Amino acid sequence: MTVAVPEELLVEDDWVDQRWRQLHGWLQRSFGIEPGIEGVLFLIGVRESGSGYQPKLKKERKQELIMDGTYRAFEAIGVYRRVSSGVDSEYSWEKSRPMPTLSVEDQEKLLKVAILRYFSELNLGMDT
């Protein structure tokens, strides 16, 4: 079975680069940081956890927040979806659509597009 290339990879590289720089500028102005992809995913995970940033997190918890941030970003482009277990607000992530094997460059681009879509959905005024 052949899996189609995700439409998000058809976005112009220049557009992705420009928007990524805008996101970094916004993060710099808002939080005084300019994180890489993993740092942005951590911020998404922290935001989505609802508990706010907590200093001195254990490495395992940081990794969990990065993974939650990754899944949440991919949810913004329809690759994953959150599935409730029905118990104590717990949930897991389920793949929504099949993905082809991607090069490292395409994986990074897809993740950047997903992150940009996530922040765009929040309507945080990044463009100002």
Q: Is 103 contained in some domain?
A: yes
pLDDT tens, position by position, 57-79: 899 999 999 999 999 999 999 99
For tokens 């935001």, the residue is 47
Q: Is 128 contained in some domain?
A: no
Q: Is 7 contained in some domain?
A: no
Based on the structure, what is the number of domains in the chain?
Answer: 1
Q: Is 112 contained in some domain?
A: yes
Q: What's the average pLDDT block by block, 10 residues per block, for the chain (128 residues)?
A: 77 94 90 87 90 83 94 94 78 89 93 95 68
- Note the pLDDT of residue 31: 82
| Integer Cα distance of 58 and 113 in angstroms | 29
Q: Does the predicted TM-score (pTM) go above 0.85?
A: yes
| Integer Cα distance of 96 and 122 in angstroms | 21
For 106, the token pair is 């395409």
* Domain around 81: 40-49+58-121
- Note the pLDDT of residue 1: 57
